[in-house]
């Protein structure tokens, strides 16, 4: 039996963007969720993304007392955190289980059928969001329209661009470059970069409509 090899799929990315290490575990999970017969098995990958996102938050030194009476010199997150999911994404419950510290809030963005542009329909954000670091969550990054609209909403509420970390399951190169070109100060983290977009702006090979499949 031949031994599987780890993919060397490492696309050229703009500054501020990164891809999770292409481990065999990640490739196996991606293979499962891409299968047309699969339903709701992406939680593990999303958890990996959230954990990586937390690695990019600033920390400050913190000393605590352990149960045996010794001091431990560790770190603590600098500032408060919140997660914002672009609704239709199906990420909220999973991310809440990944870490209990940040609250998870929602932005509803849908395409306007007349203008074919992303339109904000609903936003639930805390009053102090301008003082927080934000994990922005959306599973599929195609052209980047919905993501960029959500970032504009956050900026309009006073969030600093450099305090936004965009977490994404599968991305097209076009979407990555669009987002990073418009918002060069944010951090973009994706699990995988696919080949690109077809004539209908669908990600290829992709995995279909994430929201429909996740909630089946």
Q: Which of the residues are catalytic?
A: 111, 115, 209, 212
In the structure encoding, which two tokens stand for residue 20, read together?
């999770």
> By the 8 A CB rule, do 166 and 186 touch?
yes
Rounded Cα distance, 160 and 131, in Å? 9
Both tokens assigned to 99: 């870490």
**What is d(CA 76, CA 28) in angstroms, rounded to the nearest whole number?**
33
- Beta strands per DSSP E along 12-139: 17-19, 59-65, 71-77, 81-87, 104-111, 118-124, 133-137
> What's the Rg (C-alpha) of the chain?
18
CB atoms under 10 Å from CB of 79, counted, come to 12
CA 113 to chain centre: 26
**Residue indicated by tokens 């969550």:** 137
Q: How many CA atoms lie within 13 A of 83 on its CB side?
A: 28
- Closest of 99, 105, 94 to residue 134, by C-alpha: 105
Alpha-carbon torsion, ordered 94, 95, 99, 105, to 10 deg: -130
């Amino acid at each position: 039996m031949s031994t599987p090899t780890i993919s060397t799929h490492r696309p050229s990315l703009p500054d501020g963007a990164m891809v999770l290490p292409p481990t065999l575990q990640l490739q196996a999970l991606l293979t499962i969720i891409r299968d047309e017969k699969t339903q709701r098995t992406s939680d593990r990958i999303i958890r990996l993304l959230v954990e990586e996102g937390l690695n990019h938050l600033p920390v400050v030194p913190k000393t605590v007392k352990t149960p045996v009476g010794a001091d431990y010199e560790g770190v603590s997150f600098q500032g408060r955190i919140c997660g914002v999911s672009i609704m239709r994404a199906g990420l909220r419950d999973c991310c809440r289980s990944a870490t209990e510290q940040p609250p998870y809030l929602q932005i509803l963005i849908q395409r306007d059928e007349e203008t074919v542009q992303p339109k904000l329909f609903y936003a639930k954000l805390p009053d102090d969001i301008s003082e927080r670091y934000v994990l922005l969550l959306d599973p599929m990054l195609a052209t980047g329209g919905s993501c960029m609209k959500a970032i504009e909403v956050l900026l309009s509420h006073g969030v600093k661009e450099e305090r936004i970390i965009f977490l994404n399951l599968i991305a097209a190169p076009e979407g990555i470059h669009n987002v990073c070109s418009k918002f060069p100060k944010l951090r973009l983290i994706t699990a995988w970069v696919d080949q690109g977009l077809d004539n209908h702006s669908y990600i290829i090979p992709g995995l279909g409509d994430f929201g429909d499949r996740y909630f089946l």
